[in-house]
Structure 1
Amino acid sequence: MKYIAHIRQKDGCIQTVKDHLQEVKESCERFGGKIGVRHLAGLAGWLHDLGKNTNEFKKYIQEAVANPDAPPRRGSVDHSTAGGKFLFDRYHHSSSVNDKVAAEWVGNCIISHHQGLRDFIDPELTSPFFKRVSKDLEEFEQTKSEFFEHVSQQELDQYFSEARKELEHYLGLIKQHKLPSIAASLLMKYIFSCLIDADRTNTRQFEEDEETEQPLDSHSFFKRSYDALTNMLVTLEHESDSEEPINRLRREMSRQCDDFALRPSGIYTLSIPTGGGKTLASLRYALKHAMTFNKDRIIYIVPYTTIIEQNAAEIRGILQEDDMILEHHSNVIEGEDELENEDYDVHQKKIKLARDTWDRPIIFTTMVQFLNTFYAKGTRNVRRLHQLSNSVIIFDEVQSVPVKCISLFNAALNFLHIMGDSSLLLCTATQPALDFVKHKLHFSDQAEIIENMDEVGKSFKRVEVVNRTTTLGWGAEELADFVQEQMEEVNSLLVILNTKMAVRKLFDQLYQREGLGEGGARLFHLSTNMCAAHRKDVLSELKQALEANERVICVSTQLIEAGVNISFECVVRSLSGLDSIAQAAGRCNRHGKDKLRYVYIIKSADENLSRLPEIQIGREQTERILNEFEQDPQRFDYDLLSASAMKAYFEYYYHNIKEEMDYPVSKLEKNLFELLSANKDYYGAYKKKWGKNPEILSRPSIATAEQYFEVISNKATSVLVPYNDEAKELILAFNGELDSWELGGLLRKLQPYVVNIYDYELKKLEKNGDLYPLLHGHVLALRETAYSRQFGVGSEGEGEWSMAMI
């Protein structure tokens, strides 16, 4: 009898359980083999759908395919428990601790492959994992005997023995490097990632009747790209201004990156000053390092989607191979938890199988997506995790890591370097003190690429910071007066405020002013209420105006202050963290055209920071630095933006928020770092409640941690916006019949037309009838009347700092 894994919708062709398990096993082995967990991952793939070897599931899937609009009762067949239970029953009785742990880790991956990893101990002091693998299953003996029809018991036992050896090796690495036990949870998540991607990919390939794709030849691409970049840099050396001091210094720092690329994989820093050519210098390092050490891909992690747009466009322009570069801004389809079940629903199946993995040699994504890959709930985000191994990962403006995520971020980077064989490069002009915190980052020896940092900083000094915070908060009218006053001296001015509301108020005030609004200086507005394509168009128009020497005023949230290659004669920055002020200063006199220009720090009276506590704390610590600078400027080398000032700022800042860095959850009176580590409180409470040790050795509360994890505090929903004709056509395409391949392509093309909306803003739009559902309710789109060419989405609100990161 042939047991059925899948039935192809279009022609009724059957994929047997035997074939599916073997094919997923082989893919898992390939993914896991990159970091030495070939058998741990392969074991998960080999047994994940063991529960489909039953008459009950065979009948279920046949009914589901025959009646796609009325499938069998939700949750009526459990097929994911059997493999985990089989593994647990067979190997957990062993006297070997590592046999038990291997059975628990791989077993958890198997039972969870439709819903996300389970808790070993939960807040109710039970073990959802143990409860699941202890479950009585009908036809369980049949599932095992069918498996052993094709695999000998000796072969399975030998394979498990190899998996245990891999586990022993990694537990030894954790001990050797003195890593907290969260590293073990991350290794389990890596194995889970291999299984999810292998299973989803194999199922999609069967559904679409396509051949297994050959892996992209990344190494040849990196060689071609390195040559293209080298040729471009040679061309720059022959331009008329190539011998300007700043350009000579840029070339020297770029050369240092090229030389440094020959060093072994590690965690390094690249502290090029703002305007120093960081993007191309880091690319030069990444390409050469990837070629030298045979890395699979280069991944850029940036704080704001704005930076994705600019950096990706710059690199595409040089490399001229668009299909090898992927931009992943955010998930177009939300509500993943609704899809996480074992039901065979044709519409949901397409969404789950849609190609949504980082499978290109160069990836651009955000800090939010990076952290979600490690810590978000469900299966969709973690699917990408294995793609981060054996890679060169560049963190642009790394100081933007949200405070509550710092320990989790450091744990992820330590895992990727020590266990994932990746090289990590932290790029910023304002390096945070991530080795100063409790759960620190394990930097490599002599981690900084740039030599003589102090001298480089002085050579790049192009602005003077002027403190105007002694004046009480400035409302929109007073600030507009100040802008008008400055515009008598300069031709271009940038104002950066902390919230969208304050930006909108100032823009409206300036627009009404004679000589500044219509017919006077050109006014530009930027915020994340605008989709990526909209912001890109505005920035392009703004740059053209600046290059044409037109009179220009731009009012923006902080999305403009990191990674956007643009220069103004004057910048006004509302008080915030000193790192943000330094980034804002990088938009002033960026190319050193003038000897010195001014950056003014002011306090806006129109900012409500109640939803932005990190900005509030940053403001307070910056004020402390400002006061100390006034008393003893020599201590900071007579420069508010010096490395010594920045170091003092981050140490004050981190000390002030040290209790927040482990991601505390007030409802649980616990922090996520501990829940994913030793989990001592729940373990001790379990023993006290039941009078015995748990039946299992593993402790992490993975599902609970994932339930409470979100990079931004206020959940945002992705909404498609009809910004232009292309966006409207793509949105319209959702109404057609799409297979999972077409859907994956459509979701990629829609990335530039997404705006992320907070829940309270979403309710306003829903109340006004400005939203409508697509793809059976899994995607939301905005009506054209609710999107402004000037401001983007019509809803107003605070929270810009968090929104910009998505």
Structure 2
Amino acid sequence: MYIAHIREQDQAIQSVREHLLGVQQLAEQFGAKIGVKHVAGLAGLLHDLGKYTDQFKDYIWQAVFHPERAQKRGSIDHSTAGGKLLFDRYHTQHHDQPQAKYLYMVAEVAGNAIISHHSYLRDFLSPQLASEYLQRVQDKPAEELQYEQACQLFFAEVMSEEELDRYAARAAEEIESYLHKSVADSLENKLLFLSKYVFSAVIDADRTNTRRFEEQVIEPILSLEEEKAERKQLLEGYYVKLMKKLASFKEGSDQESVINQLRAEMSENCDSYAEKATDMYTLSIPTGGGKTLASFRYGLKHAILHGKQKIIYIIPYTTILEQNAQEIRQIIADDQHLLEHHSNVIEDSGDDEQLDGWSNTVQKLQLAKDNWDAPIIFTTMVQFLNVFYMKGSRNIRRLHQLSEAVIIFDEVQKVPIHTVSLFNWSLNFLRNYAASSIVLCTATQPALNFVEHKLQINKETEITSHLPAIATAFKRVEMVDLATKETMDSTQLASFVVEQLVEVRSVLVILNTKAVVARLYELLADLSVQVYHLSTAMCPAHRKAILEEVKQRLKGGQPVVCVSTQLIEAGVDISFECVVRSLAGLDSMAQAAGRCNRHGEWERRNVYLIDHAEERLDRLTEIRVGKEITKQILIDVTNDPTMHGGDLLSASAIQWYFERFYSKLSGELNYPIQPLSKDMTSLLLGHRQEQRSYYQAYVAQYKKALPLFMTSSMRTAADHFAVIANYTKSVIVPYQAKGKEIIAALNGQLDIDELSDWLKLAQQYTVNLYEGELRALNQQGGIVSLFDGKVFALLETSYSAEFGVDVRGNSESEFLAY
């Protein structure tokens, strides 16, 4: 018997044949969702072909039973053989077949997934003008791989040569059909995302099959039809519960109020729009308009009517994620089927060649990672973008789960500027090829179809009707411009807050950096009223506890001041009598206004816009540019009250703002990579015709064309990708008893399921730290590492009840949560 895996618990053997057929079955199911069943199945079928050799059999046997004689982990290449078989059979032969070019594409797409399944998709053409793909499938000596033996055993035990040829021909037909789905994208763009999808299917199928073997799961895998039927029944039950909840709102004493009537009308609009075909829509409900439940209503009904398998909320801030997830959880009363995923607790090295046959600590970490196989998912913008573009196998494993879904982006204007083009590409793929419907929710819709790589969104796709009238009805504050008159330092701002407390009982101050937030908090700490501090230096559980305290004081009418970074301003259901906002982008001004008089408890209240003198924004480009444009709008309206619709937050002002914002930062939109003097969009597409492309340089140097359809540098692009430019690492903190319990548990012996559960809990007790911050804490002895340095934890002495991790500075991570 040739061995794929040896189970740690009882040394039982999973044969290569059993593993290949099991992975093929799952990969086919994942690929079928976008019409590439056989392309994905082929990659799954051949991914571990290299384990059909005597050298691998001896390697894994020695590693488990005679570790003292074992070869170095990863020293036997078992990933190349399958890709080489596809290349030899379909890329260098069959030139006379009508499907020849599509067979070439099968070899490239499926073959790259195979050779990369323990790392990341290889470059078809690298900055060094070499093809990592060809180096593996064409240039690597067959003798070194025991390639002939592997192929003979595969054809004898798994699938005959004739059967493989028929299977590959069906894969070629699928690629041909896939490429004709949309005329708006280039061939390179289509093949790029097909490659990523197939890779995702193989990775998840491989990890899932291996986990089922390790955990001795005996339940059969549901067919696609059975799975869809189960999901539909589940979502229908959720829809009934939601409608009961919405009906209960009508029983309130103020059911006839204008605001409640408008909320009900917008909710009905969402229900009606759910009947429309799979597409991309905008939902521009004002702050306080019931966006969460209205969008959930759309998602459930649309999924039921159009066969979608899940509803995924993509949210920029942890605080919104937690709040919205809790609101939905209470309605569906089914915690088992709702997943919150907003932190990568495990450090991903990008390569895991050690996962080649036996269980170990690293393998447990890999198998424990969640693959988003849940009907209701709440995750972050960072995690969403990581799925498409981040290195390693951990994130991209989830990509196929984004197909046949309803994907709701809350506060979509928060997509980071350097990822705008990549974000648009991802959404276009999901809409055009992956049968997913997309809803872009925000009160300030960004002009994503204004940029070079446009969002392919049709006109007349706004779900909410009568937007100007609704905006007027929901107006509960006056924006008071102090920013264009003078600047304020922290001492002056503290005095201003004290002055406001003479007139009001609650004040919220939102500033742009953690340093000035901490400084103002210290200046206000001696006030007779209760003062709270909030920033991302605190873990989510800590912030949640503080917000609950603040809400209780507000509910009881007790005096309270809260000083916070931007994390509080988007989607947090909280209402202060007065808000002070340091000037930033117009969308941030709108979000801050949503924390003032949120429910119309008072007559109109004031939101004061200030220019903070001590904020250092030189390295925070997006805030600085947004601040400049917002300031210009304020000056324009002061000079001519009719400009920009006569209102800082009018639809015309918002459109004008985003067009200027994207124009000023046009050089950032395509994710520039300074060390390479290239944009990531160029790396990913290959751009055969572009004069400065690597392809043109290859032709000039070698005087011949690269014999491949694909020329993209996917591995190089992934190596340079990070949503938050200065990459941070997640650290588990000992906040309260639960945080300490999580750290203790992760320091013990756990099986895969237990590890998965603890890692999910750990998301609520993590803080993201920059490398320098982590290094400083480590030098002070404040950090411990778990799982061979893959997981980090903070010692109790390094975490403060007031400040969390007391590392002050300017932080871009305030924008987005991991």
TM-score over 0.5 for the alignment? yes
CA shift, 1:184, in A, is: 2.1
2: CA distance, partners of 1:69 / 1:659:
55
- What pairs up with 1:180-191 in 2 under 5 angstroms? 181-191=188-198
Is 1:689 matched with 2:701?
yes
Q: Identify the residue that residue 314 of structure 2 maps to in structure 1.
A: 301
Q: Identify the residue that residue 533 of structure 1 maps to in structure 2.
A: 541
Paired residue for 1:136, among 135, 138, 141? 141
- The AA in structure 2 aligned to 1:225 is Y
Secondary structure of the residue that 1:181 maps to in structure 2? helix
CA shift, 1:25, in A, is: 0.2
CA shift, 1:584, in A, is: 0.5
Q: Identify the residue that residue 154 of structure 2 maps to in structure 1.
A: 147
Q: Identify the residue that residue 592 of structure 1 maps to in structure 2.
A: 600
1: CA distance, partners of 2:249 / 2:815:
37
Q: Identify the residue that residue 507 of structure 1 maps to in structure 2.
A: 521
Q: Identify the residue that residue 250 of structure 2 maps to in structure 1.
A: 237
- What pairs up with 1:259-274 in 2 under 5 angstroms? 259-274=272-287
CA deviations on 1:761-791 (whole Å, 9 max, x unpaired) are: 1111111110011122211110011111111
Q: Identify the residue that residue 228 of structure 1 maps to in structure 2.
A: 241
Is 1:118 matched with 2:126?
no
CA shift, 1:73, in A, is: 1.3
Q: Identify the residue that residue 199 of structure 1 maps to in structure 2.
A: 206
Is 1:276 matched with 2:284?
no
CA shift, 1:444, in A, is: 3.1
Is 1:609 matched with 2:623?
no
2: CA distance, partners of 1:253 / 1:549:
31
1: CA distance, partners of 2:220 / 2:743:
29
Secondary structure of the residue that 1:633 maps to in structure 2? coil
Secondary structure of the residue that 1:750 maps to in structure 2? helix
Check conservation: 1:182, 1:678, Cα contact below 8 A. no
- What pairs up with 1:608-647 in 2 under 5 angstroms? 608-647=616-655
2: CA distance, partners of 1:301 / 1:592:
28
2: CA distance, partners of 1:69 / 1:759:
37
CA deviations on 1:123-160 (whole Å, 9 max, x unpaired) are: 00011110110211332111111111131211111110
- The AA in structure 2 aligned to 1:33 is A
Q: Identify the residue that residue 168 of structure 2 maps to in structure 1.
A: 160
- The AA in structure 1 aligned to 2:202 is L
Q: Identify the residue that residue 4 of structure 2 maps to in structure 1.
A: 5
- The AA in structure 2 aligned to 1:791 is F
1: CA distance, partners of 2:589 / 2:617:
17
CA shift, 1:737, in A, is: 1.7
- The AA in structure 2 aligned to 1:104 is E
**Number of residues of Structure 1 aligned to a counterpart in Structure 2:** 798
CA shift, 1:67, in A, is: 4.7
Q: Identify the residue that residue 259 of structure 2 maps to in structure 1.
A: 246
- The AA in structure 1 aligned to 2:786 is L
CA deviations on 1:108-130 (whole Å, 9 max, x unpaired) are: 00000001100000000011110
CA shift, 1:212, in A, is: 4.3
Check conservation: 1:528, 1:804, Cα contact below 8 A. no
Q: Identify the residue that residue 285 of structure 1 maps to in structure 2.
A: 298
- The AA in structure 1 aligned to 2:516 is A
Alignment gaps of 5+ in structure 1: none
Q: Identify the residue that residue 793 of structure 1 maps to in structure 2.
A: 805
Check conservation: 1:712, 1:802, Cα contact below 8 A. no
CA deviations on 1:290-343 (whole Å, 9 max, x unpaired) are: 111111100000001111111111111111101110000111111432645555
CA deviations on 1:225-258 (whole Å, 9 max, x unpaired) are: 1111111111110111222211111111111111
CA shift, 1:45, in A, is: 0.3
Q: Identify the residue that residue 257 of structure 1 maps to in structure 2.
A: 270
2: CA distance, partners of 1:394 / 1:511:
40
2: CA distance, partners of 1:69 / 1:594:
75
CA deviations on 1:496-546 (whole Å, 9 max, x unpaired) are: 00000010000001113xxxx2xx221111111111111111111111110
Q: Identify the residue that residue 370 of structure 1 maps to in structure 2.
A: 384
Secondary structure of the residue that 1:674 maps to in structure 2? helix
Secondary structure of the residue that 2:23 maps to in structure 1? helix
CA shift, 1:179, in A, is: 4.9
Secondary structure of the residue that 1:233 maps to in structure 2? helix
Check conservation: 1:180, 1:677, Cα contact below 8 A. no
Check conservation: 2:391, 2:718, Cα contact below 8 A. yes
2: CA distance, partners of 1:21 / 1:364:
33
1: CA distance, partners of 2:355 / 2:335:
37
Q: Report the CA distance shift for 1:183/1:574 in structure 2 as closer, same or farther (over 3 A).
A: farther
CA deviations on 1:576-597 (whole Å, 9 max, x unpaired) are: 0001000100111111222311
TM-score (norm 2): 0.96
Q: Identify the residue that residue 314 of structure 1 maps to in structure 2.
A: 327
Bigger shift: residues 487-496 or 79-88? 487-496
1: CA distance, partners of 2:163 / 2:12:
30
Q: Identify the residue that residue 494 of structure 1 maps to in structure 2.
A: 508
2: CA distance, partners of 1:329 / 1:363:
10
Check conservation: 1:115, 1:341, Cα contact below 8 A. no
Q: Identify the residue that residue 81 of structure 2 maps to in structure 1.
A: 82
2: CA distance, partners of 1:642 / 1:26:
53
Question: Structure 1 vs Structure 2: percent identity of aligned residues?
Answer: 51
CA shift, 1:285, in A, is: 0.6
Check conservation: 1:71, 1:345, Cα contact below 8 A. no
CA shift, 1:803, in A, is: 6.0
Check conservation: 1:679, 1:701, Cα contact below 8 A. no
Check conservation: 1:772, 1:780, Cα contact below 8 A. yes
Check conservation: 1:761, 1:796, Cα contact below 8 A. no
Bigger shift: residues 194-203 or 315-324? 315-324
Q: Report the CA distance shift for 1:319/1:668 in structure 2 as closer, same or farther (over 3 A).
A: same
Q: Identify the residue that residue 58 of structure 1 maps to in structure 2.
A: 57
CA shift, 1:675, in A, is: 0.9
Is 1:750 matched with 2:762?
yes
CA deviations on 1:345-365 (whole Å, 9 max, x unpaired) are: 612111111142101100000
1: CA distance, partners of 2:2 / 2:488:
72
2: CA distance, partners of 1:171 / 1:785:
57
Paired residue for 1:457, among 461, 468, 471? 471
- The AA in structure 2 aligned to 1:291 is I
Secondary structure of the residue that 1:603 maps to in structure 2? strand
Q: Report the CA distance shift for 1:783/1:272 in structure 2 as closer, same or farther (over 3 A).
A: same
CA deviations on 1:559-591 (whole Å, 9 max, x unpaired) are: 001010111111110010001000100111111
Q: Report the CA distance shift for 1:457/1:736 in structure 2 as closer, same or farther (over 3 A).
A: same
Q: Identify the residue that residue 172 of structure 1 maps to in structure 2.
A: 180
CA shift, 1:632, in A, is: 2.4
Q: Report the CA distance shift for 1:477/1:778 in structure 2 as closer, same or farther (over 3 A).
A: same
| RMSD over equivalenced CA pairs, Å | 1.5
1: CA distance, partners of 2:68 / 2:364:
14
Secondary structure of the residue that 2:277 maps to in structure 1? coil
CA deviations on 1:21-77 (whole Å, 9 max, x unpaired) are: 001000000011011010000000000000000000000011111256885214320
Check conservation: 2:23, 2:44, Cα contact below 8 A. yes
CA shift, 1:728, in A, is: 1.3
Q: Report the CA distance shift for 1:74/1:474 in structure 2 as closer, same or farther (over 3 A).
A: same
Alignment gaps of 5+ in structure 2: none
Bigger shift: residues 43-52 or 651-660? 651-660
CA deviations on 1:59-97 (whole Å, 9 max, x unpaired) are: 001111125688521432000000000110000023322
Bigger shift: residues 500-509 or 136-145? 136-145
CA shift, 1:802, in A, is: 4.5
Q: Report the CA distance shift for 1:213/1:304 in structure 2 as closer, same or farther (over 3 A).
A: farther
Check conservation: 1:500, 1:557, Cα contact below 8 A. yes
CA shift, 1:270, in A, is: 0.2
- What pairs up with 1:552-567 in 2 under 5 angstroms? 552-567=560-575
Q: Identify the residue that residue 402 of structure 2 maps to in structure 1.
A: 388
CA shift, 1:611, in A, is: 2.8
2: CA distance, partners of 1:317 / 1:784:
33
Q: Report the CA distance shift for 1:761/1:685 in structure 2 as closer, same or farther (over 3 A).
A: same
